[in-house]
Amino acid sequence: MAKKVLIVDDEEDVRTYLGSLLKNNGYEISIAEDGEEAFLKVGEFHPDLITLDIIMPNQSGVGFYRRLKKSEEFKHIPVIVVSGVTAYKDFFAKDRGGLPKPEEFVEKPFSTENLLGKVQTYLK
Protein backbone atom coordinates (compact mmCIF):
# COMPACT_ATOMS: atom_id res chain seq x y z
CA MET A 1 0.00 0.00 0.00
CA ALA A 2 1.26 3.46 -0.92
CA LYS A 3 2.55 5.66 1.89
CA LYS A 4 0.51 8.78 2.51
CA VAL A 5 1.83 12.34 2.52
CA LEU A 6 -0.17 15.38 3.58
CA ILE A 7 1.02 18.58 1.86
CA VAL A 8 0.19 21.71 3.87
CA ASP A 9 0.83 24.90 1.94
CA ASP A 10 -1.22 27.96 1.03
CA GLU A 11 0.52 28.42 -2.33
CA GLU A 12 -1.24 26.58 -5.10
CA ASP A 13 1.92 26.33 -7.22
CA VAL A 14 3.79 24.61 -4.41
CA ARG A 15 0.90 22.23 -3.72
CA THR A 16 0.65 21.30 -7.41
CA TYR A 17 4.40 20.85 -7.80
CA LEU A 18 4.88 18.86 -4.63
CA GLY A 19 1.74 16.84 -5.29
CA SER A 20 2.95 15.80 -8.76
CA LEU A 21 6.42 15.05 -7.51
CA LEU A 22 5.21 12.79 -4.73
CA LYS A 23 2.50 11.08 -6.78
CA ASN A 24 5.01 10.33 -9.53
CA ASN A 25 7.18 8.68 -6.91
CA GLY A 26 4.43 6.38 -5.70
CA TYR A 27 2.99 8.27 -2.74
CA GLU A 28 -0.66 8.91 -2.03
CA ILE A 29 -1.21 12.57 -1.29
CA SER A 30 -3.72 14.89 0.28
CA ILE A 31 -3.53 18.65 0.54
CA ALA A 32 -4.50 21.38 2.99
CA GLU A 33 -4.27 25.13 2.57
CA ASP A 34 -3.84 26.19 6.19
CA GLY A 35 -3.27 24.83 9.67
CA GLU A 36 -6.95 24.46 10.53
CA GLU A 37 -7.72 22.43 7.43
CA ALA A 38 -4.53 20.45 7.92
CA PHE A 39 -5.58 19.23 11.34
CA LEU A 40 -8.91 18.03 9.96
CA LYS A 41 -7.07 16.24 7.15
CA VAL A 42 -4.75 14.55 9.60
CA GLY A 43 -7.78 12.97 11.27
CA GLU A 44 -9.37 11.88 7.99
CA PHE A 45 -6.34 10.94 5.89
CA HIS A 46 -3.98 9.60 8.58
CA PRO A 47 -0.79 10.61 6.75
CA ASP A 48 2.53 8.84 7.26
CA LEU A 49 4.37 12.15 6.80
CA ILE A 50 3.51 15.84 6.54
CA THR A 51 5.23 18.58 4.54
CA LEU A 52 4.45 21.86 6.25
CA ASP A 53 4.64 25.47 5.18
CA ILE A 54 4.80 28.04 7.97
CA ILE A 55 3.21 31.19 6.64
CA MET A 56 -0.40 30.42 5.91
CA PRO A 57 -3.71 32.14 6.60
CA ASN A 58 -5.77 31.24 9.68
CA GLN A 59 -3.69 28.89 11.82
CA SER A 60 0.00 29.11 10.83
CA GLY A 61 2.32 26.16 10.43
CA VAL A 62 3.73 26.89 13.88
CA GLY A 63 0.32 26.58 15.52
CA PHE A 64 -0.51 23.45 13.54
CA TYR A 65 2.80 21.78 14.40
CA ARG A 66 2.38 22.37 18.12
CA ARG A 67 -1.17 21.11 18.06
CA LEU A 68 -0.06 18.00 16.17
CA LYS A 69 2.83 17.22 18.50
CA LYS A 70 0.62 17.65 21.57
CA SER A 71 -1.80 15.07 20.23
CA GLU A 72 -1.16 11.57 21.58
CA GLU A 73 -2.76 10.14 18.46
CA PHE A 74 -0.75 12.05 15.88
CA LYS A 75 2.49 13.17 17.49
CA HIS A 76 4.43 10.31 15.92
CA ILE A 77 3.87 11.63 12.37
CA PRO A 78 7.15 13.03 10.98
CA VAL A 79 7.03 16.62 9.75
CA ILE A 80 9.22 18.26 7.13
CA VAL A 81 8.99 22.05 7.39
CA VAL A 82 9.21 23.58 3.93
CA SER A 83 9.64 27.30 4.35
CA GLY A 84 11.31 30.27 2.71
CA VAL A 85 12.37 31.66 6.06
CA THR A 86 14.97 29.80 8.09
CA ALA A 87 14.33 32.08 11.08
CA TYR A 88 11.26 29.98 11.80
CA LYS A 89 13.54 27.41 13.36
CA ASP A 90 13.47 29.74 16.37
CA PHE A 91 9.88 28.78 16.97
CA PHE A 92 10.80 25.19 17.55
CA ALA A 93 13.38 25.58 20.30
CA LYS A 94 12.67 22.71 22.68
CA ASP A 95 13.55 24.69 25.79
CA ARG A 96 10.50 26.85 25.44
CA GLY A 97 7.94 24.70 23.76
CA GLY A 98 8.81 21.37 25.31
CA LEU A 99 8.07 19.70 22.00
CA PRO A 100 10.49 17.88 19.72
CA LYS A 101 11.81 19.78 16.74
CA PRO A 102 10.43 18.91 13.30
CA GLU A 103 12.30 16.04 11.69
CA GLU A 104 13.60 18.22 8.85
CA PHE A 105 13.72 21.79 7.59
CA VAL A 106 13.83 22.39 3.84
CA GLU A 107 14.33 25.90 2.60
CA LYS A 108 12.35 27.22 -0.36
CA PRO A 109 13.23 27.18 -3.17
CA PHE A 110 14.08 23.53 -2.68
CA SER A 111 15.68 20.99 -4.97
CA THR A 112 13.58 18.02 -5.98
CA GLU A 113 16.29 15.55 -5.01
CA ASN A 114 16.77 17.09 -1.59
CA LEU A 115 13.10 17.07 -0.68
CA LEU A 116 12.39 13.67 -2.15
CA GLY A 117 15.43 12.24 -0.40
CA LYS A 118 14.17 13.46 2.95
CA VAL A 119 10.66 12.13 2.33
CA GLN A 120 12.09 8.74 1.37
CA THR A 121 14.22 8.66 4.51
CA TYR A 122 11.14 8.77 6.72
CA LEU A 123 8.91 6.58 4.56
CA LYS A 124 11.12 3.55 3.99
Q: Under the rule (CB under 8 A), what is the footprint of another protein?
A: 55, 60, 62-63, 66, 85, 87, 90-91, 95-99
29 vs 106, beta carbon nearer another protein: 106
Q: Residue 106: which H helix or E strand, with range?
A: strand 104-107
DSSP state letters, 16-38: HHHHHHHHHTT-EEEEESSHHHH
Question: Least distance from C-beta 62 to another protein, angstroms?
Answer: 5
Question: Least distance from C-beta 55 to another protein, angstroms?
Answer: 5
Strands 104-107 and 49-52, sheet pairing: unpaired
Helix (H, G, I), strand (E, B) or coil at 50: strand
50 vs 62, beta carbon nearer another protein: 62
Question: Least distance from C-beta 87 to another protein, angstroms?
Answer: 5
98 vs 117, beta carbon nearer another protein: 98
Q: Give yes or no for a contact between 31 and 11, defined as CB atoms under 8 angstroms apart.
A: no
47 vs 63, beta carbon nearer another protein: 63
